[in-house]
C-alpha cells in the first residue's frame, strides 16, 4: 500500500469515527476510537508514540508524544477544539521532522464535518 492509499484509508476511518461520535468529545476519545477502527481494518497503530529529542549530548527518548503512528509511516495529530492554530501545524511538522517521516495528518474532530 502506498502512502497515498494509506492516507486515504486513514481519512476514511476518521470520517467514519466522526460520523458515529460527532463533535464535542475529548481528544482522547477520538484517539482511542480511531486507533480501534484502524486496527479493525488491519493496520498497525501505536497510540501516544514517544518522540525522541536529541540536542547536543542530551537525549530524551520521550520528549513528546505523537497521538497515533500508523504502519510506522504516518503520524496523526488529533485535536478537538474550535479552531486549528499555527502552533498545531508546527507541532505536527516538528513530529514529522523528529521522527523522519514524510506524511502527517492534523485532524480536528470538533468541526461539524471532518
Residue 105's DSSP bridge partners are 76
* Predicted TM-score of the model (pTM): 0.92
DSSP assignment letter at 101: -
Domain map (residue ranges) of the chain: 3-108
Q: Could you read off the pLDDT of 4-56 as tens digits, one per residue?
A: 999 999 999 999 999 999 999 999 999 999 999 999 999 999 999 999 999 99
Q: Which CATH class is domain 3-108?
A: alpha beta
**Cell reading at 60:** 530524551
Residue 19 and residue 88: Cα distance in Å, rounded? 23
Amino acid at each position: 500500500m502506498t502512502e497515498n492509499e494509506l492516507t486515504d484509508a486513514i481519512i476514511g476511518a476518521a470520517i467514519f469515527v466522526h460520523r458515529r461520535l460527532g463533535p464535542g468529545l475529548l481528544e482522547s476519545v477520538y484517539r482511542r476510537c480511531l486507533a480501534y477502527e484502524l486496527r479493525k481494518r488491519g493496520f498497525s497503530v501505536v497510540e501516544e508514540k514517544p518522540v525522541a529529542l536529541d540536542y547536543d549530548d542530551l537525549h530524551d527518548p520521550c520528549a513528546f508524544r505523537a497521538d497515533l503512528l500508523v504502519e510506522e509511516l504516518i503520524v496523526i495529530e488529533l485535536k478537538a477544539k474550535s479552531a486549528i492554530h499555527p502552533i498545531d501545524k508546527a507541532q505536527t511538522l516538528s513530529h514529522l521532522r523528529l521522527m523522519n517521516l514524510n506524511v502527517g495528518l492534523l485532524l480536528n474532530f470538533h468541526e461539524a464535518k471532518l
